[in-house]
Structure 1
Amino acid sequence: MERKEIHTGVTSSNPIHFTTVQKEMNYNLKYEQSLALWSVPYKTWYEPTRFGQTHIISCGPDDGEPLILLHAMGFSSTVWFPNIEVLAQRYKVYAIDFIGDLNRSAPSILPANRDECGEWLDEVLDRLEVTDCIIGGISYGGYLAINYAIYATHRIQRLFLLSPAASFVPLHKQFIYRIIVMNAIPMKWSVHHFIKWLSKHKLNKTLIDQFHAAFRYGSLSLRVPPGVYSDDELKRLDMPILLLLGDQEVISDANLAYTRATQLCKNIYAEIIPGAGHLLNLEKPEYVNMKINEFL
């Protein structure tokens, strides 16, 4: 199938994330190379919010049920390339670059707390004229997806979570330390060392090059670190939930996350996938696609 990319709206400079035009251009080149991995027709554009310009990749049938995708920290929406063909068959997909992270979105101010993260996504969905939707997230995107499901429960029909960062249990201190080191020394070797620790599987080189470019050329701007949701907050999530975790998860305790999630969430199917680390959709794409498809 022929891929078609259509740019509309603005292509604004991004001074909060990139200090020079050249750095922004270098990153954008790697982003476009990763986006070329998408195997379906798509279009991209920006939606204005009070936090700045939000970059969106959209595909799938116009009359499909809206499906919102939120990405892992540092990876951007291009991280969904192994899943997008399956999801775009039935759903109108909007993969949204979180405005507080390194990607193509161009913030004027950064969301400073969980409520502002909810306000930002509320504005984006309003601009898209999406009243209710399915929402899915991986890693930090899973944390944001839960946050929005708590913030605007009435808008969420179903929720799928791949290795959500923290959320159910605290992050390991080693993960936080490794992020700090990688950000301080954004060389190719340090980024690859971090990725090899995060995942024992060989991942797509083009996507990893984009991840490296984010830290090499950009300034880490995340102001809302992932945390653990309270019992009361998790009990409010009454929509159907799919939670997938890897048995080789390194950023937190997957077994404890599984136990707490299944005890507190009313309508959840959770599974720990053998032989998988943190980046489930990149490591086990066929199995993850099957589980998401069954759930949806």
Structure 2
Amino acid sequence: MNLGSFTDDNARTRFLDLYERLFQQLWPEPVKAEDVPTTFGPTRVHRAGRDRGRPIVLLSGAGGNSLMWHRYIRPLGEHHPIVAVDTIGEAGASVQEAPVQDGRDGAKWLDEVLAGLNVDAAHVVGCSYGGWLAMNHEIHTPGRIATLVLLDPAGFALPGPRFYGWALAGALAGLAPRALRPRLARLVANGTILETEIMSLIPAAARYRRRLPNALVFSDDELRTLRTRSLCLLAARSALHRSRTTAERVTRLVPAAQVEIVPRTGHALPMDRPDLVVERILDFVSEEDD
């Protein structure tokens, strides 16, 4: 079957051991981990923050998991319940048991996660591929998302040489001596390489076989169906798409969306400008909750 999995049991054990150690090291306490049953397999979520209020649900980008949000948990959790999700089919603690064939399947998976959490109106924050999944949810199975925050989302251009070159440059920069990494991070527009602990997970994650559909480009008709109040933050130096072209298209086709191009940022926008992103999220969702 076309399922994401580790290459063997040893690879899975090695990854999960390091994964749990990093959680204990990076995430503020308390955090509650639980598995939500879905058609596609048990999905690991991590709860933190306040006990009451409308939750903020965090969806990582391709190759990522809940750990990427460790800098966001405390400032967001002071105001809202937080739910960080390990996307099914990615290297994390979720276990894929059925194939995700396309965006409609991705939408169904996310809807089942939200239903399993008893969430009827969540603030969903999606980074890159996570943004693509969230938009698919609103296209195919709307109703459980109150607001949508998209952080340099996929779905507006197919990855090309520019994107793969950016990813390769980031990987190589991550191998440089630590003292050089801040300068290299600015040069390649990728703040992820400054996340030393997260970068340490990459060798173990490399033994995970990812089996998820490509983030296909949304058609104009699909984008016109988006009715949820949305905030779209685009990286000025994104290697995935042309930010100005994408901003114009979203503004024209999605009247419910606010669009901002964030200067001096690359596709790793949440890592490049975490303070700005936290501020934008809280300001945006507070308007819905007031």
TM tier, smaller: 0.7 to 0.9
Q: 1:206 aligns with which of 188, 193, 197?
A: 197
Distance 1:200 1:69 in 2: 19
What one-letter code is carried by the residue in structure 2 that aligns with 1:28?
L
Partner of 1:219: 209
What one-letter code is carried by the residue in structure 1 that aligns with 2:76?
L
Partner of 1:32: 20
Going from structure 1 to structure 2, the CA distance change for 1:73 and 1:171 (only over 3 Å counts) comes to same
Distance 2:218 2:6 in 1: 32
Contact 1:137-1:161 at 8 Å conserved across structures: yes
Partner of 1:91: 80
Distance 1:211 1:57 in 2: 21
What one-letter code is carried by the residue in structure 2 that aligns with 1:67?
I
What one-letter code is carried by the residue in structure 1 that aligns with 2:135?
I
What one-letter code is carried by the residue in structure 2 that aligns with 1:220?
R
In the alignment of these two chains, the number of paired residues is 272
Contact 1:31-1:210 at 8 Å conserved across structures: yes
Going from structure 1 to structure 2, the CA distance change for 1:20 and 1:60 (only over 3 Å counts) comes to same
Distance 2:270 2:5 in 1: 26
Distance 1:237 1:118 in 2: 13
Partner of 1:81: 70
Partner of 2:127: 138
Partner of 1:3: none
Partner of 1:169: 157
Contact 1:99-1:110 at 8 Å conserved across structures: no
TM-score (norm 2): 0.85
Distance 1:16 1:231 in 2: 31
SS at match of 2:104: helix
Contact 1:17-1:219 at 8 Å conserved across structures: yes
Going from structure 1 to structure 2, the CA distance change for 1:83 and 1:190 (only over 3 Å counts) comes to closer
Partner of 1:291: 280
User: 1:273 aligned to 2:241?
Assistant: no
Partner of 1:18: 6
Partner of 1:246: 235
SS at match of 1:95: strand
- Shift of residue 33 of structure 1? 3.4
* Structure 2: segments with no counterpart, 5+ residues: 177-183, 286-290
* Structure 1: segments with no counterpart, 5+ residues: 1-14, 183-187
CA offset digits 1:16-57 (Å, max 9, x no partner) = 411322111111123223323122421101122221111111
State how 1:26-175 maps to structure 2 within 5 Å. 26-35=14-23, 36-165=25-154, 167-175=155-163
SS at match of 2:6: coil
SS at match of 1:44: strand
What one-letter code is carried by the residue in structure 1 that aligns with 2:84?
A
SS at match of 1:289: helix
State how 1:254-265 maps to structure 2 within 5 Å. 254-265=243-254
SS at match of 1:154: coil
